[in-house]
Amino acid sequence: MTDTAPPADTTPDQEKWLSPGVKGIGSASFLADVGHEIPTALLPSLLTSTLGAPAAALGAIEGISDALAGAARFGGGVLADDPARRRKVAVGGYAATAVLGAATAGATAVWQVGLLRAAAWTARGLRVPARNALLADLVPAKAYGRAYGFERMMDNLGAIFGPLLALGLVAWVGVQWAIGLSVIPGLLAAGAIVYTIRKTLGPVRPTRPACPEGRRRGRTSGGRPAPEVTSRKVIGLSQGMKGARQCHHPHGVRPACDLDRQKDLAPASFRPTVASGIQ
């Protein structure tokens, strides 16, 4: 019996997919869901009991907010394509969702609740693609399923714990204070994203554009790329020098130089190029 060697493409980094960064994003999903599930669970009571709105107002507010959240995910996907921008969108989205959601506690009219709810759900939609892109940056391709499964599990746990916490807060401090206190887990979620970015991802390194294929450039004595010289550039230089001579002639415009004179103006190494380019 012979022992089978492990696959060559298996590395320790691929085995350890549950890194601190993945745990940080999972914690952010849990805390964020706890934070916005509290206002969601108490929104009917706020609208009907506190503000005296009909039940139809709740349906209209929730429908518009969900539609905006779906549309914002498309825009968030465009923003998440930029590595530096996706980090800002993720942090800002989590923080804005927490603040706007908790701000509904101070609303005194139904339209204010609708406006704040719609803005909070728009920020929530913007942050989702950025968070998913950050998670993809943290794990190898073979561990995407496990990493995203862990993040979804933490999100669902927050959706369970949030309403239970809302019931306890209502019995303790009332509806409006319970909604206002939901900002705490929301901001903790934004802090978890900041921790993940700073401790695991590091700064974004700008990419240098590749040189077009087929272009050959020399090197100077200092190691820097030498400027590319073409016949068109040399011709333009010679014509500019000719124009300068014409402008400074004491008797007005000087006649144009002939071909031999233009070739004499160029350096010796470029004279064949100038002559062939003018012909």
Q: Which of 178, 151, 135 is nearest to 37 (CA)?
A: 178
More confident residue, 40 or 245: 40
Give the mean pLDDT of the chain.
78
CB 130 within 8 A of CB 90: yes
Q: Which of 178, 196, 199, 179 is nearest to 188 (CA)?
A: 196
Q: What's residue 19's pLDDT?
A: 86
CB burial string 2-21: b at 16+ within 10 A, e below: eeeeeeeeeeeeeeebebeb
Q: What's residue 24's pLDDT?
A: 93
| pTM, to two decimals | 0.67
Q: For residue 225, what are the β-bridge partners? A: 219
Q: Where are the domains of the chain?
A: 17-201, 231-278
Contacts of 226 (CB under 8 A, 6+ apart): 217, 218, 219, 220
More confident residue, 108 or 271: 108
Query: In this structure, what token pair is assigned to residue 168?
Result: 């306890």
d(C-alpha 15, C-alpha 29), whole Å: 23
Query: How would residue 216 be classed by pLDDT, with cut points 50, 70 and 90?
Result: very low
Helix or strand holding residue 3 (H, E): none
Neighbours of 236 (CB within 10 A): 11
The percent of residues in the chain predicted with pLDDT above 90, rounded, is 57
**Cα distances (Å, whole numbers) of residue 210 to 81, 85, 220:** 19, 22, 19
Long-range contacts of residues 145-154, Cβ cutoff 8 Å, at least 24 apart: 146/17, 146/18, 147/17, 147/18, 147/22, 150/18, 150/22, 150/26, 151/22, 151/25, 151/26, 151/29, 152/29, 153/26, 154/26, 154/27, 154/29, 154/30
| CATH for 17-201 (1.10.760.10, 1.20.1250.20, 3.40.50.9100, 3.20.20.70) | 1.20.1250.20
**Cα distances (Å, whole numbers) of residue 158 to 30, 166, 184:** 4, 12, 14
> What's the pLDDT tens digit per position in 8-31?
444 455 457 888 889 999 999 999
Q: What's residue 116's pLDDT?
A: 96
Query: Of 32-36, 96-100, 196-200, 207-211, where does mean pLDDT reach its minimum?
Result: 207-211
pLDDT at 61 over 90: yes
pLDDT at 218 over 80: no
pLDDT at 260 over 70: no
Rounded average pLDDT over 263-278: 47
Rounded average pLDDT over 172-201: 92
